[in-house]
Amino acid sequence: MTDETGTTVVYWRRMCGFCTRLLGALEGAGVDVELRDIWEDPEAAAFVRSVNDGAETVPTVVLPDGRAITNPSPDALIAHLTAGS
C-alpha cells in the first residue's frame, strides 16, 4: 500500500504499549503521521494482517516510499523520517 501523499501512516490500536511509545516519540519529535486504528477500521486491520503473515501486529508503519515496517524502534524511525530535514 503506497501512500500517494508521501505521508507516513501508522497502524495502531488502543491499549498497545508499543503504539503508545512510538506515537509519543513521534509527537515529541514533531513528526506528523496519519493514524489508522485497526480496531475501528476493518480495511486497516486487513492491511496489517497482509504485511504481517496474518497477524494484527502493531504498530505497523508505512513509510512515504510505500515500505511497511513492523514495530520499529522509535529513535530509528524518527532518524529515518527526519534525515535530510
In the structure, what pLDDT confidence band is assigned to residue 2 with cuts at 50, 70 and 90? very low
**Binning pLDDT at 50, 70 and 90, where does residue 85 land?**
low
- Give tens-digit pLDDT for 12-61: 999 999 999 999 999 999 999 999 999 999 999 999 999 999 999 999 99
E strand or H helix at 80: helix 74-82
Look at residue 64 and tell me if it is in a domain.
Answer: yes
Predicted confidence at residue 84, as pLDDT, reads: 64
Task: Write down the pTM of the prediction.
Answer: 0.90
CATH code of the domain containing 78: 3.40.30.10
The span from the CA of 12 to the CA of 74, in Å, is 14
The DSSP bridge partners found for residue 12 are 37
Q: Is 2 inside any structural domain?
A: no
**How much is the pLDDT for 1?**
43
Asked if the structure places residue 61 within a domain, the reply is: yes
Task: Report if residue 1 sits inside a domain.
Answer: no
The domain tally of the chain equals 1
For residue 58, give the C-alpha cell: 502493531
End-to-end CA distance of the chain: give it in Å, rounded.
25
Give a yes or no: residue 55 inside a domain.
yes
pLDDT at 3 over 60: no
